Amino acid sequence: MRVLYAQSGGVTSVINASAYGVLDEARKAGMEVFVGIHGVTGILKEHLLKINDMDIEGLKYTPAGAFGSCRRKMKTQEDISKLFDVIEKYKIEYFFYNGGNDSMDTAWRIAQEAKTRGFPLKVIGVPKTIDNDLPYTDHCPGYGSAAKYIAISIMEASLDLRSMYVDSTRVFVMEIMGRHAGWLVAAAGLGWLNGIGADIILFPEVYFNKEKFLERVDEIIRKKGYCSIAVSEGIRYPDGFFVSDMGYTDSFGNRQLGGVGFTIAGMIRSELSLKTHVAIPDYLQRSGRHIASKTDIEEAEMVGRTAVRLALSGVTGVMITIERKSNNPYTVEYGTVELNKVADQTKYLPEEFHDDFEITENFVEYAKPLIEGELFPQFRNGLPKYTIFREVEEQ
C-alpha cells in the first residue's frame, strides 16, 4: 500500500503535527509513505520524498510547512490528468491533502476524477487554517495557536502602551489576518480574561463606519488615556470595498490585502491628532510555534491519524471534522463531511460572538478551551530546535 501526503495553502504552527499524525499512522500500518514537496505543484513535477526511514518526531514541534506548501489550484483537466499520471506511476492508493478552503476544492476534484476513472484512490482532506473559516467543523487545527499568539501579543503590546501613553504613543493598532471571517481578530479580546486586551476590535463581518469608530476611540482616550485596537485585514465599507488592499490578486483570484493598520492609524492621526503606532504580525501569527496551544497541537495530530484510519476502512471523498461535545470538561470527537460541501465555502464569525467593537461571553466560552495548555519545543543555543528537511529546498 502506498500513501501520498501533501501540504497546501497558508501554513500554521501545527500543520506539521497533522503531517506527523498522517505519516506516523501510515508507517505503523505498514504503508510506503511519500510526501509531495510543495503540494500539488511538487507532485506535478514528480518531486516526491519517501519518508519511511526518516526521523519525523520533530515535526510535532516545528511550525510552518516542513515539506513545503503551495497555492496552486487545479484549474484544468490537463493539470488533473498530469497529476493522475504521477499517482498511477507511483501506484498511490491513498492521498491526504492538508489545507484549507481552496485545498479542499482540489481534494474534491481529485476524488471526483478517481471516481470517473474507476481508479481505486482514497482521498481524505486534512483541515488546517488559522482563519477558522472551514464550515461543518467546530474549529480548525491552526486556529487555537494563532488565536493564542494574537491574544498574548495584544496583551503585551497594550501593557507597553499603558506604560508610555502619558507623553508618547496614545493608540496602538495591530493588523491581523482574516480576509472574510473575524475568528482570528476576535482573539484579541481574550486578553481581558487576564486583565488587559484590545479596547476596540474591527471585524470583517461588521461594515466599517469611520465616524462611529473615531467616536469610540475618542471616548476610550478620554476615559483612560490610551487605546489598543485590533483590526482585521478584511474590513470593508458598506459598499463592499476593502478599506485597504494591495491592488492585485493571488493565484486563486483573491484580492491581496494589507496596510489597513496604517490606514486606520492615519485616520486617527488626521482626525484626532493622536500619536499612533502600528504592528503587523503577518507570518508571525501563523508560525509562532513557541507559544502554541497544547489543545491545538494534540488535535492537529489526531485529525491526521483519524484520516489514515478512516481511509484504511474504505472512506474517501471527505474532510475530517472536529465535533465539540462539551466545554467543561472540554471534549471532542472526530467526524467527516463531504469535500464538496466544504470546498470554497466560508464560515463567518456568528453574530452572537461579537457586537460592533467587542467580543461577547459566547465567544470567550467557545475560544478559551482552544488556547489552553502549552507543549514547548526543545531549545538549543537558547532557541527552539526545529526540524528542517533540506530535500524541500532541492528543485
Residues 194 and 309 in one domain: no
The confidence score (pLDDT) of residue 327 equals: 92
Domain boundary among 269, 286, 303: 286
Does a structural domain hold residue 253? Answer: yes
Question: To the nearest whole number, what is the mean pLDDT of the chain?
Answer: 94
Is 21 annotated as ligand-binding? Answer: no
Active-site residue, selected from the candidate residues 131, 133, 245, 296: 131
Report residue 364's pLDDT band, with 50, 70 and 90 as the boundaries.
Answer: very high
Neighbours of 129 (CB within 10 A): 26
Residues 209 and 304 in one domain: no
Q: How many domains does the chain have?
A: 2
Is 131 annotated as ligand-binding? Answer: yes
pLDDT in tens, 232-290: 999 999 998 899 865 544 444 555 456 899 999 999 999 999 999 999 999 999 999 99
- Cβ–Cβ under 8 Å, residues 21 and 7: no
Q: Which three cell numbers stand for residue 387?
A: 526540524
Stated pTM of the model: 0.94
Is 179 annotated as ligand-binding? Answer: yes
User: Averaged over 111-129, what is the pLDDT?
Assistant: 95
C-alpha distances out from residue 116 to 112, 236, 314, Å = 6, 42, 17
Given a cut of 90, is residue 181 above it in pLDDT?
Answer: yes
Q: DSSP secondary structure string, 120-137? A: --EEEEEE--TT---TTS
The confidence score (pLDDT) of residue 244 equals: 81
Residues 160 and 222 in one domain: yes
Does a structural domain hold residue 205? Answer: yes
85 catalytic? Reply is: no
Residue located via cell numbers 496583551 = 155
* Distance, CA of 157 to CA of 173 (rounded, Å): 9
Does a structural domain hold residue 208? Answer: yes
The confidence score (pLDDT) of residue 252 equals: 46
Q: E strand or H helix at 50, and its extent?
A: strand 48-50
User: Averaged over 288-295, what is the pLDDT?
Assistant: 96
Does a structural domain hold residue 367? Answer: no
Residues 23 and 72 in one domain: yes
Residues 302 and 322 in one domain: yes
Domain that holds residue 173: 143-286
* Distance, CA of 126 to CA of 141 (rounded, Å): 9
Neighbours of 84 (CB within 10 A): 17
Is 254 annotated as ligand-binding? Answer: no
* Distance, CA of 359 to CA of 202 (rounded, Å): 10
- SS3 (DSSP) at 162: helix
